[in-house]
Amino acid sequence: MYRLYKKNELNFSLVWIISYVVLFSVADSFSASLGTEKIIAAPVAIVFTLLLLVFVSKHNLKEKYGLCSFDGSLRNFLYFTPLLLIMSINLWNGVTMKLSVLETVLYILSMLCVGFIEEIIFRGFLFKALYNDNVKLAIVISSVTFGIGHIVNLLNGKDLIPTLLQVCYAIAIGFLFTIIFYKGKSLLPCIIAHSFVNSSSVFAVENSSMKFHIISSAVLCIISLSYALWILKKTKQFDEYENNDRR
């Protein structure tokens, strides 16, 4: 994989993304056929996560891909407070225990890993592969690809409209997370938020109301886009002050 990475970072990132989508779709299908939620997907997620960690660590790429401390003004990032609102999405309609204890543990382990994996391959590998050519295009492609990737949920039996709404707010959240990484140099806040959202979904109370889906999706889009624009504005001002001080 390192040879491919050195030869073409874009192809390298696409191999990881395609492998992830295919493997996890198959793993979820096998888990369902065995009658135990995430019984196959959880081990696959753990192994996939370890492979990513080993690759990034072995080749000294932690800083490049954001596995490092945050480098920015917490005040300009509002101390990541808006992320708490996004992280609470699965608690908006109450909390319940939907699965057995074993399935709940497997689900949480799987989703914690998925949060890490998706941030590394979409925000890390893909964004950085395009970064040097065109930053704006890299941000858009990373965000849109991440959102569209959720369309695979249709293959797992999810309804069309809720899935399309999920794609929309996933693009908005993907844009926010990319901006946080771009301006703060760290993926850790994104990984923490993403992993919590994923894992807490096991306790979410399902609401079949289309009105609820539309409103919650709109709120997530507004929070994500507003916060991203705030960060861009504040960090631009900070960069201008820094440049003036150097003169």
pLDDT of residue 16: 97
pLDDT of residue 153: 72
pLDDT of residue 243: 43
35: phi > 0 → left, psi -120 to 50 → alpha, else beta; which? left
* pLDDT tens, the chain, 247 aa long: 899 999 999 999 999 999 999 999 899 999 999 999 999 999 999 999 999 999 999 999 999 999 999 998 999 999 999 999 999 999 988 899 999 999 999 999 999 999 999 999 999 999 999 998 999 999 999 999 999 888 877 766 677 888 899 999 999 999 999 999 999 999 999 999 999 999 999 999 987 788 888 999 999 999 999 999 999 999 986 455 444 433 4
pLDDT of residue 144: 94
Tokens, residue 154 = 């249709």
pLDDT of residue 143: 95
Among 220, 178, 207, smallest CA distance to 89 is for: 220
170 and 150 Cβ atoms separated by less than 8 Å: yes
27 and 44 Cβ atoms separated by less than 8 Å: yes
pTM score, whole prediction: 0.91
Q: Could you state, in order of their start, the residue ranges of all structural domains in the chain?
A: 2-246
Separation CA 204–CA 212 (nearest Å): 13
User: Cα angle vertex 215, ends 211, 216, to 5°?
Assistant: 115
Separation CA 71–CA 229 (nearest Å): 18
